[in-house]
Amino acid sequence: MKPISANVLLRSMGAVGRDFNVSCVVTDSRAVRPDSIFVCIRGERADGHDFAVQAAESGAGAVLVQHPVEGLAPEKTIVVSDPLDAMIAMGKNYREQFPACTVLGVTGSVGKTTTKEFCAAVFSAFGNTVKTQGNQNNELGVPNTLFSVGDDTKYAIVEMGMQGLGEIQKLTLAAQPAGAIITCIGRAHLEQLGSRKNILRAKMEICDGMPAGAPLVLNGDDDFLPSARVPGRLRPVYFAIGNRDADVTASGVFSSLSGTSFRLLDREAGGFDVHIPALGEHNVRNALSAYALATRLGLDPAAAAQALSNYRTTGYRQNITHHAGVTVIEDCYNANPDSVRAALRTLEAYPTQGRRIAVLGDMLELGDISEASHAQMGEDAAQSSVAFLITVGELSRRAHKRALSLGVPAVHCATKHDAAELLHSYCTEDDVVLVKASRGMAFETILDEFYAALDAGTGKESV
d(CA 52, CA 45): 16
Q: Are strands 179-182 and 248-256 parallel, antiparallel or unpaired?
A: unpaired
Residues of the chain with CATH 3.90.190.20: 319-456
Mean pLDDT to the nearest integer, 126-150:
95
Residue 188 pLDDT greater than 80, yes or no:
no
Shortest CA distance to 347 belongs to which of 255, 221, 444, 250?
Answer: 255
* HEC readout, 8-61: HHCCCCCCCCCCCEECEEECCHHHCCCCEEEECCECCCCEHHHHHHHHHHCCCC
Q: How many residues does the chain have?
A: 463
Residues of the chain with CATH 3.40.1190.10: 98-310
Q: Read off the amino acid at residue 32.
A: V
- Note whether 329 and 432 are within 8 A (CB): yes
Mean pLDDT to the nearest integer, 100-108:
97
Superfamily in which the 319-456 domain is placed by CATH: Mur ligase, C-terminal domain (3.90.190.20)
> Read out DSSP for 97-159?
T-TTSEEEEEE-SS-HHHHHHHHHHHHTTTS-EEE--TT--STTHHHHHHHT--TT--EEEEE
Which pLDDT value is given to residue 463?
Answer: 32
pLDDT in tens, 426-454: 999 999 999 999 989 999 999 999 999 99
Which phi and psi angles does 419 have, rounded to 5°?
-65, -45
Residues of the chain with CATH 3.40.1390.10: 4-80
Class of domain 4-80: alpha beta
- Note whether 287 and 276 are within 8 A (CB): yes
Mean pLDDT to the nearest integer, 405-410:
96
State whether the Cα torsion 249-110-123-315 is positive or negative.
negative
Residue 221 pLDDT greater than 90, yes or no:
yes
Is domain 98-310 given the CATH code 1.10.10.60 in the classification?
no
pLDDT, averaged across the chain: 93
Identify how many contiguous H helices and E strands the chain contains and give both numbers: 15, 21
Mean pLDDT to the nearest integer, 111-125:
96
Which pLDDT value is given to residue 17?
Answer: 53
- State pTM to two decimals: 0.83
Residue 459 pLDDT greater than 60, yes or no:
no
